[in-house]
Structure 1
Amino acid sequence: MDALQYLEKVGGVARTGQLLAAGYSRRDLARLPSQGAKQPRRGIFILAEHRPEFATALRYNSYVSCASAAEHYGLWIRKAPELHHLACNHGHGTGFVRHRTIRFDPHPSLPIAAVEDVVLHAMACLEAPASTAMAVSAIRLHGVPLDLLKEQLRGDRSRPVLNALKDLDLRAESIVEVDTQHLLRTHGIAFDAQVAIPGIGRVDLLLEEFLIVEVDGFAFHSDRKSLRNDLARNNASTINGYLVLRYAPEVIWFEPERVIAEIRAVLELRRDAPAQFPGDLARPSPGSSGPATLPRFQNRS
């Protein structure tokens, strides 16, 4: 790999020191301008096709962090921020969101903060559910310890941060599940997540022991087998006395009022006709010799 290929690999922008540390000579670096690389300032090489957040980070001697670093670590986030989020220990520069505390060693070859710092910055900067989605995905995908987050944020007395820590639910398996849980919490609707129901399987959310709420990902029904499996699950849910509501991610994100209205309408059915639902199957029917059995389900730990 020559110096130009390396520069392309690291996002199209790098410092002279980084290139030298990677084993390239000053003669190699001297050829870069003839290969299309520019030097906007001394000590920095940049290609026309480059990661703009990396260029901004090097310009201000900082590291990409918080929402701007989510994509690089595969953390759950709906969209990139309009302004770059940078971690730095100085007050120079404008036009970006500044995070002053750097606790962990950054990425070894890219101007990106450590995933731990990225999550800590997000928890203190972003509103839920964006902050909680990034934290849950960092814990699930990168093994960031929950205790570490609690310890590092212990001194933060701001209500948003404390609420975000309290609302972390590691059972969520996607960003849209985190967003759905947040939507239900903010409207005072109790739920249990990732519940295993015999004869049906694991469901995303279970409300009042009779209403199943499933959030379908973008790969939903990507093949005939998944379609057959979901049809069978829906049928099994109905046979066992459960009601089911299913939502696509865009409905959760762009029509939350509709989601809440539909869930509340179904929950009202329980109050109007409780005998129709699983929670009342434990009542013995007239003339029966013994009590009926209540459907069993268990939470995933």
Structure 2
Amino acid sequence: MDAFQYLEKVGGVARTRQLLAAGYSRRDIARLPSKGAKQPRRGIFMLADHRPELATALRYNSYVSCASAAQHYGLWIRKAPDLHHLACDHGHGTGFIRHRTMRFEPHPSLPIAAVEDVVLHAMACLAPPASTAMAVSAVRLHGVPLELLKEQLQGDRSRPVLNALKDLDLRAESIVEVDAQHLLRTHGIAFDAQVAIPGIGRVDLLLEEFLIIEVDGFAFHSDRKALRNDLARNNASTINGYLVLRYPPEVIWFEPERVIAEIQAVLKLRRDDPARLVDGFAQPSPGVSGISPVLGFQYRR
């Protein structure tokens, strides 16, 4: 590929020394402006379609980190931050969130911090569940050792770090599961995660040994086979005496009050009058709304 194609590949922005290190001659680099690349400052080449966080990092002689680097490493994050997160050891520049400590070697060619530093910065900067989602995905997808995170953060006693370490649960298999777990914790609802139940299989969350919570991902029912499998699991859950509540990501994220209200209503009904959930279809208690479709299921005594 030529220098222009390389520039496109690395996010649309690069320093001269990066281009030289990639094997391009100064003559190759000198041709870039004629092909549409701009030079916002000496030694930096930029395409119109560039990744803004990389451009900001080069401008301030820093490295993209924390939430701004999540997409590069495929870490779980719901949305990009409003301000760029940069790691640097100087105090120059404004308009971005600064992270000063870098413990590991950064990306070999791009101005991006190492995935370990990205997660450590997130744990100290973001509140759960954003921080814990990034940490869990770094461990699961990149093999970042959990003990390394704990070791590096053991001296930090700030509230964000303590909350993130407390909520870190490697059993979560997606960002929406991390968020669902956090939602239950913040409302004092105990749960077990990724529980293998004979005759049913592995379920996302199990509450009080009778209520299954399934968090459906974006690929839920992507084909008929997936639909049949999930219907079979639901039927097996009922036959084996469990209640089931299912939620897609958008409900967990944008209607958390509804999720908690429905879960608490089912738990309360079982505690107050367990006979209503046994031997036939139960009727909802006065004041309970929005959960009647599931109240006909039996629970395991």
Structure-to-structure mapping, 1:32-43, within 5 angstroms: 32-43=32-43
Q: Distance in 1 between matches of 2:222 and 2:68?
A: 30
Aligned equivalent of 1:245:
245
Structure-to-structure mapping, 1:1-301, within 5 angstroms: 1-274=1-274
Aligned equivalent of 2:296:
none
Any idea what SS the aligned residue of 1:206 has?
Answer: strand
Q: Distance in 2 between matches of 1:73 and 1:185?
A: 28
Shift of 1:219: 0.6
CA contact (8 A) 2:12 2:48 kept: yes
CA contact (8 A) 1:64 1:84 kept: yes
Q: Distance in 1 between matches of 2:203 and 2:140?
A: 19
Question: What amino acid is aligned across from residue 58 of structure 2 in structure 1?
Answer: L
Q: Distance in 1 between matches of 2:276 and 2:262?
A: 18
Shift of 1:160: 2.3
Deviations 1:27-83 (A, max 9, x none): 111111111111111110111111111000000000110000000100000000011
Q: Which runs of 5+ in 1 are unaligned?
A: 279-293, 296-301
Q: Distance in 1 between matches of 2:175 and 2:207?
A: 20
CA contact (8 A) 2:127 2:163 kept: no
Deviations 1:217-273 (A, max 9, x none): 011000000000000000011111100000010101111111000000000122123
CA contact (8 A) 2:125 2:160 kept: no
Change (3 A) 1:99 1:79: same
Change (3 A) 1:38 1:27: same
Change (3 A) 1:209 1:275: farther
Q: Which runs of 5+ in 2 are unaligned?
A: 279-298
Question: What amino acid is aligned across from residue 102 of structure 2 in structure 1?
Answer: I
Q: Distance in 2 between matches of 1:69 and 1:20?
A: 24
Shift of 1:276: 7.0
Deviations 1:180-199 (A, max 9, x none): 00000000000000000001
Q: Distance in 2 between matches of 1:254 and 1:8?
A: 36
Identity score, percent: 89
Aligned equivalent of 2:282:
none
Question: What amino acid is aligned across from residue 265 of structure 1 in structure 2?
Answer: A
TM-score (norm 1): 0.91
CA contact (8 A) 1:132 1:167 kept: yes
Shift of 1:167: 1.3
Any idea what SS the aligned residue of 1:157 has?
Answer: coil
Q: Distance in 1 between matches of 2:75 and 2:263?
A: 29
Any idea what SS the aligned residue of 1:94 has?
Answer: coil
Any idea what SS the aligned residue of 1:203 has?
Answer: strand
Question: What amino acid is aligned across from residue 193 of structure 2 in structure 1?
Answer: A
Backbone CA RMSD of aligned residues = 1.5
How many residue pairs match? The answer is 281
Q: Distance in 2 between matches of 1:277 and 1:155?
A: 50
Any idea what SS the aligned residue of 2:204 has?
Answer: strand
TM-score (norm 2): 0.91
Q: Distance in 1 between matches of 2:126 and 2:107?
A: 22
CA contact (8 A) 2:63 2:86 kept: yes
Any idea what SS the aligned residue of 1:107 has?
Answer: coil
Any idea what SS the aligned residue of 1:245 has?
Answer: strand
Any idea what SS the aligned residue of 1:202 has?
Answer: strand
Any idea what SS the aligned residue of 1:39 has?
Answer: strand
Question: What amino acid is aligned across from residue 250 of structure 2 in structure 1?
Answer: E
CA contact (8 A) 1:241 1:276 kept: no
| Runs of 4+ displaced beyond 2 Å | 272-278
CA contact (8 A) 1:210 1:277 kept: no
